Chain A
Amino acid sequence: DSGVTQTPKHLITATGQRVTLRCSPRSGDLSVYWYQQSLDQGLQFLIQYYNGEERAKGNILERFSAQQFPDLHSELNLSSLELGDSALYFCASSEGLAGVTGELFFGEGSRLTVL
């Protein structure tokens, strides 16, 4: 158990809908990262927050947004969903910044299926 909790584990929805994925980092971790894993795209970095502030941005679509709250949990909002958004969405956390403190701890992911 990594200590990172993601909900929901599975989500099935229709095109055009909006969903929210939630992540609780390990106790004491200030950084939260979101990644998208699909069969044809590998593991894509979406966005990183550090202590409530956006730190780095990757290949995140404008239809997607995220935030980190004062209690350090994070939410990833996906709107106007398309079939291609079907993927496994991972949250990871680290004590500090990856380059300084090292490893990321991953949750078990939220599997999103868009029909």
Chain B
Amino acid sequence: SQQGEEDPQALSIQEGENATMNCSYKTSINNLQWYRQNSGRGLVHLILIRSNEREKHSGRLRVTLDTSKKSSSLLITASRAADTASYFCATDAVPASKLTFGTGTRLQVTL
């Protein structure tokens, strides 16, 4: 079963706009990670946020984590056509060490 659920399932925006994706999970976590997957390719790690952190930035990416609500959001600012991909959150639940992935958000950025 999926630990994380992303919302929305699909998002279509124009280049230059911001894209926000949300992830909800069910159990306590050690950390939450976001990954990107271009169509049919392997997943690529974007950012990791630990359970004791509330916000983290990496370039045009901003991730927030609210452990009380068991939710996280990924914001991509000033999106580009090259950002078109599927984005997944992944959680490492206490006490297990496996990473469980959500269902993903398909982002389409048009020119």
Contact = CB atoms under 8 A, between A and B. Distances in A.
Indicate, yes or no, whether A interacts with B. Answer: yes
A108 B88 contact: no
A98 B101 CA distance: 12
A105 B99 CA distance: 12
A35 B102 CA distance: 13
A58 B31 CA distance: 19
Contacts of A92: 43
Interface string A102-115: 11111111010000
A108 to B, nearest CB: 5
Interface string B23-34: 000000011010
What's the interface size class on A, roughly? 20 to 34
A75 B30 CA distance: 28
Contact of B45 (A97, A105, A108): A105
B96 A56 contact: yes
B2 A102 contact: no
Nearest to B6: A42
A70 to B, nearest CB: 21
B40 to A, nearest CB: 7
Contact of B48 (A42, A50, A103): A103
Interface in B34-78: 35, 40-45, 48
Contacts of A104: 43, 45, 90, 99
B42 A90 contact: yes
B98 A108 contact: no
A83 interface: no
9 contacts: A42-B104, A43-B104, A50-B97, A56-B96, A56-B97, A99-B30, A102-B48, A103-B45, A106-B44
Interface of A: 2, 4, 33, 35, 42-43, 45, 48, 50, 55-56, 58-59, 88, 90, 92, 97-100, 102-109, 111
Given A56-B97, A100-B30, A111-B40, 5 more contacts: A59-B1, A98-B98, A102-B48, A106-B44, A108-B42
